[in-house]
Amino acid sequence: MKKFLSKILYYTAIVLVRIAMFFTYSLRFEGRENIPDRDAAIFASNHRSYLDPVLVVLGTPHMFCFAAKEALFKTPGFSHLIRALGAFPTTWEKDPEYDMLAEATKRLKGKRYMTIFPEGTRHTDGKVGRGKSGMCVLAAKSGVPIVPVGLVFDSNNLHFRSKICVRFGKPFYPEEYGLTPDSNPHQMRKMKEDVMASIKEMVEENPPFPILHDEPKRKSSREKAREQRAAAKAAQTTTEEK
């Protein structure tokens, strides 16, 4: 009964969000034929905005799960809501033995799709950063494929009726790379590089519409730190030249 109610709540929320998103933005999807007809899969996407999890989910008919910050689970009522929608915490202070990786693997084996952002942080300038091997660890442990996803915006700053394209690439299977649950991160490097190369190709090459490369108004903390380091280096170089 609990699973049935969660399913009803999930798809009701998806319908309402879909209406709102298609009204607010000019949204399109490409490559849906690449989504494997399996019980579970990992969708690895570049990270542009806080809307990204929703954008990935709207492109498929499957129920998703996703990891969220522990703080979101400490609000009564809201915690129950996001859990019903498939969320689970990245950490859990009350349980020192809590393992997010084990929880994610359990969800995948329970036939739930999952969204993951291998860059680890947002890149609001439209570029694709370096990925981490966590997605490959999950794929190897659960035996599910990774579907690369490219999110393309027509501007670095979203506004009403912004054009957004969600592109799904061909899936990568851990067994094709000889990966097993016991494989180490070094053995997963090739698969990680191939997934990230696919995402980068979808995002940075042959855009589906003209892109305005304006200055992002909201930058991630990592982007701000990068700019500060560059400014400090430039200032040091100027001082040395004098």
Domain spans of the chain, in order of start = 2-241
Q: Supply the pLDDT for residue 241.
A: 62
- CATH 3.40.50 is the classification of domain 2-241: no
Q: Is residue 121's pLDDT more than 90? A: no
Q: Is residue 63's pLDDT more than 80? A: yes
Q: Is residue 151's pLDDT more than 90? A: yes
Q: Mean of the pLDDT values across residues 8-28? A: 93
**Distance of alpha carbon 171 from alpha carbon 237, whole angstroms:** 45
Backbone angles phi, psi at 29, to 5 degrees: -125, 145
Bigger pLDDT: 135 vs 9: 135
Q: Is residue 223's pLDDT more than 80? A: no
Q: Supply the pLDDT for residue 219.
A: 74
What percent of the chain shows pLDDT beyond 90? 60
pLDDT digits (tens, 9 = 90+) for 21-45: 999 999 999 999 999 988 899 999 9
CA 12 distance to own-chain centroid: 22
**Distance of alpha carbon 205 from alpha carbon 212, whole angstroms:** 15
- Report yes or no: 109 and 141 within 8 Å, Cβ to Cβ: no
Q: Is residue 221's pLDDT more than 80? A: no
Confidence of residue 242 (pLDDT cuts 50, 70, 90): low
Q: Supply the pLDDT for residue 175.
A: 96
Average pLDDT, the chain: 90
Q: Supply the pLDDT for residue 218.
A: 79
Q: Is residue 231's pLDDT more than 80? A: no
Cα dihedral 231, 232, 233, 237, rounded to 10, equals 100
**Distance of alpha carbon 184 from alpha carbon 176, whole angstroms:** 16
Query: Max alpha carbon distance in the chain (Å)?
Result: 74
